[in-house]
């Protein structure tokens, strides 16, 4: 009797957590809302832009074609504090196999609630894990890429798994102006009874512009660089075709880079019930880059979000 009562209480708590988080994202098809948040400090500090701008090992989240813009091997880790005691931990790597071919891999785990067992051995919280790989191929003026991922979702002692993939492209139309597009989260996910866990299918298009760049006259070392990025996303309603009725969001951000050493960033996200503005910064030194994003939540959603990302290049 006591054991059954405890199970009922835990189910009520978990459903309250899910309702709160899903209410934050205001979309019925968002049981796996962590797939929509973003994982690295650079993109999140710039309002969630990245389809035409993202670089480094975490570029595959925004657009897998972005991996083709880097020549060196890279590895990174990211820690994300989110709303309602959500914590995410991510690791990723990427590197060059041939002159124009890049490969990458990533793993992310997200925990909501109490990540432990009760006295009867029952898991009390909610846990999501993604594990996948990326491939990108590109020239100086264009790139294409693809992701594949395995998804695991655990709610109490119930488990569900799934597979999804992304396709992306980037094109440099003129020097300093790059366009990007990606189709994301196309696949399937098992359902847990009573929980909506539809994949958040997404169409993402955008651009990156460098309106200002100051370099030295001799070796063209960068002194100052201003970057502006704009993304537009479309997420269809559950059951609708990818291009059908859904929700659109506008994301924009700017970055100021001084001597390729100091990075200052800011961004804006429209039509989001949780947040609008974002700020961040970073430092690059030798082969190491450290970036931070501050994500203030609207009143009623508790403390602000924080993202810390470290990347090593070799």
Separation CA 65–CA 186 (nearest Å): 16
Beta-strand relationship, 202-215 and 262-269: unpaired
Residue 214's pLDDT is what?
95
Residue 160 has pLDDT above 50, yes or no: yes
- Own/partner contacts of 113-120, CB < 8 Å, gap of 24 or more, are 113/13, 113/14, 113/17, 113/85, 118/6, 118/10, 120/3, 120/6
**Tens digit of each residue's pLDDT (9 = 90 or more) over 255-271:** 999 999 999 999 999 99
pLDDT reading at 313 higher than 90: yes
pLDDT for 127 = 83
What whole-number distance in Å separates Cα of residue 76 and Cα of residue 21?
27
Does the structure show a pLDDT above 80 at 11?
A: no
Locate 150 and state its tokens: 């395995």
Q: Report CA-CA distances (Å) from 49 to 38, 249, 266.
A: 10, 11, 11
Question: 């994949």: which residue's tokens?
Answer: 199
pLDDT: which is higher, 40 or 17: 40
Percent helix, percent strand, percent coil in the chain, to nearest 5: 15, 55, 30
CATH code for 2-313?
2.40.160.40
What's 218's DSSP letter? T
Q: How far apart are CA 114 and CA 84, in angstroms?
A: 11
pLDDT in tens, 189-207: 888 765 656 889 999 999 9
Counting Cα atoms < 13 Å in the Cβ hemisphere of 270 gives 11
- Three-class DSSP category at 253: strand
Work out the angle at residue 242's Cα, subtended by the Cα atoms of residues 30 and 162, and round it to the nearest 5 degrees: 50
pLDDT recorded at residue 124: 55
Cα dihedral 296→179→210→100 (10° resolution): 110
CA pair distance 106, 118, nearest whole angstrom:
31
The domain ranges of the chain are 2-313
pLDDT exceeds cutoff 90 at 84: no
Between CA 212 and CA 229 the distance in angstroms is 13
Among candidate residues 69, 159, 150, 53, the one with its CA nearest the CA of residue 105: 150
First to last CA, the chain: 59
Confidence (pTM): 0.87
Which of 143, 167, 156, 161 lies closest to 53, judged by CA?
143
Is residue 252 within a helix (H) or strand (E), and if so which, with residue range?
strand 246-258
- The predicted structure's pLDDT at residue 25: 41
The tokens describing 109, both together, are 């785990």
Instruction: Please give the structure tokens belonging to residue 121.
Output: 């051995």
């Amino acid at each position: 009797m006591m054991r059954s009562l405890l199970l009922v209480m835990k189910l009520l708590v978990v459903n309250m957590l899910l309702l709160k988080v899903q209410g934050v994202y205001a979309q019925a098809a968002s049981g796996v809302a962590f797939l929509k948040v973003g994982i690295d400090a650079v993109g999140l500090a710039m309002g969630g832009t990245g389809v035409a701008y993202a670089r480094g090992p975490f570029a595959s989240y925004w657009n897998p074609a972005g991996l083709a813009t880097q020549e060196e091997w890279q590895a990174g880790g990211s820690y994300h504090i989110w709303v309602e005691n959500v914590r995410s931990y991510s690791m990723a790597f990427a590197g060059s196999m041939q002159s124009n071919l890049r490969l990458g891999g990533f793993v992310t785990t997200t925990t909501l609630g109490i990540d432990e067992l009760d006295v009867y051995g029952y898991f009390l919280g909610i846990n999501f894990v993604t594990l996948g790989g990326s491939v990108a191929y590109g020239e100086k003026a264009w790139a294409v890429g693809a992701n594949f991922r395995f998804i695991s979702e655990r709610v109490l002692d119930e488990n569900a798994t799934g597979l999804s993939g992304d396709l992306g492209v980037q094109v440099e139309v003129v020097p300093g102006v790059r366009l990007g597009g990606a189709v994301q989260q196309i696949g399937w996910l098992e359902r847990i009874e009573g929980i909506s866990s539809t994949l958040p299918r997404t169409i993402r298009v955008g651009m990156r512009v460098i309106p200002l760049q100051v370099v030295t006259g001799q070796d063209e070392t960068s002194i100052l660089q201003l970057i502006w990025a704009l993304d537009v996303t479309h997420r269809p309603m559950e059951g609708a075709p990818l291009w059908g009725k859904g929700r659109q969001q506008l994301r924009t951000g700017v970055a100021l880079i001084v001597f390729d050493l100091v990075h200052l960033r800011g961004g804006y996200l429209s039509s989001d019930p949780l947040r609008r503005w974002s700020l961040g910064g970073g430092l690059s030194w030798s082969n190491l880059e450290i970036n931070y994003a501050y994500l203030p939540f609207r009143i009623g959603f508790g403390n602000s979000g924080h993202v810390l990302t470290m990347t090593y290049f070799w």
